[in-house]
C-alpha cells in the first residue's frame, strides 16, 4: 500500500532514491475498511500492506494505493471494486487520530507483522522498507525521507527482527541510532 522507494532504476514511475509522501493513518483506515468490508461479506481473503516500492514520487501530497487483486478476474468484480472504493474513501478521511505513526523495516513484500500492528491499531505504519529493499543498505538520504515524508511526523521504527538478516538489522539499527529514532521490535 505505501508508495515509492527506489534505490535502483525507476522503470515504472517515480525517481531513483526519491520517496513520496505517505499518510500512515490513511493506510490504517484503508486496511481496516477492507478487513471490515470483507468480514461483512464472509470473505476469507487476505488484507495486507505492501512494502514501499513504486511511484509516483513527485506529488506534494500523500499517496495511498488500494489494490483489489492482481488480475482481470478481481479487477472486473464490481463487489470488490466497491469495497476498494470504500477503502480509498476511508484513506482520504482527514480526521486525525491519537494512534502514533511509525515506519516499518524488514519482512517481505507483503509485511504480515506490520499489517497486523496497523489492523490492531497499535501504530499507524506508513512506509515499509522490506528485507529485499535493505539489501545493500539504505542511504542516509532515503532513510531521512521515510521519516520526513510521513504526514503527521514520525520518530519510531518498527523492526521485524526476524524479517531482516543479522547484517541488515545491524546496519539499520546503526543508522536509526544516528538519527535518534526510537526502535520497536515486532
Q: What is the pLDDT of residues 55-70, one digit of tens each?
A: 677 888 898 888 888 8
pLDDT value at residue 13 = 64
Q: Can you give the CATH number for the domain in which 117 is found?
A: 3.40.50.10700
Q: What is the mean pLDDT of residues 73-87?
A: 91
Q: What is the pTM of this model?
A: 0.87
pLDDT value at residue 32 = 94
In a domain, 13, yes or no: no
In a domain, 29, yes or no: yes
Range of the domain at 153: 24-185
Number of Cβ within 10 Å of residue 50's Cβ equals: 19
In a domain, 17, yes or no: no
In a domain, 10, yes or no: no
The answer to whether 178 and 131 have CB atoms below 8 angstroms apart is no
In a domain, 164, yes or no: yes
In a domain, 51, yes or no: yes
pLDDT value at residue 141 = 85
In a domain, 16, yes or no: no
Number of domains in the chain: 1
pLDDT tens digits for range 118-167 = 999 999 999 999 998 888 778 888 889 999 999 999 999 999 999 999 99
Amino acid at each position: 500500500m505505501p508508495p515509492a522507494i527506489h534505490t535502483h532504476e525507476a522503470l515504472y514511475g517515480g525517481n531513483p532514491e526519491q520517496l513520496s509522501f505517505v499518510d500512515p493513518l490513511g493506510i490504517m483506515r484503508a486496511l481496516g475498511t477492507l478487513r471490515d468490508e470483507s468480514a461483512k461479506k464472509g470473505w476469507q481473503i487476505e488484507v495486507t500492506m505492501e512494502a514501499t516500492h513504486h511511484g509516483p514520487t513527485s506529488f506534494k501530497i500523500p499517496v495511498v494505493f488500494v489494490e483489489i487483486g492482481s488480475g482481470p478476474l478481481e479487477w472486473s468484480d464490481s463487489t470488490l471494486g466497491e469495497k476498494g472504493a470504500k477503502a480509498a474513501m476511508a484513506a482520504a478521511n482527514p480526521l486525525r487520530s491519537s494512534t502514533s505513526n511509525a515506519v516499518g523495516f524488514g519482512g517481505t513484500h507483503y509485511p504480515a507483522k506490520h499489517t497486523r500492528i496497523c489492523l490492531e491499531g497499535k501504530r499507524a505504519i506508513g512506509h515499509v522498507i522490506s528485507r529485499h529493499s535493505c539489501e545493500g543498505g539504505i542511504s542516509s538520504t532515503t532513510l531521512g525521507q521515510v521519516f520526513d515524508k510521513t504526514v503527521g511526523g514520525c520518530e519510531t521504527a518498527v523492526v521485524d527482527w526476524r524479517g531482516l538478516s543479522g547484517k541488515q538489522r545491524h546496519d539499520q539499527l546503526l543508522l536509526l541510532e544516528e538519527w535518534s529514532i526510537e526502535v520497536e521490535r515486532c
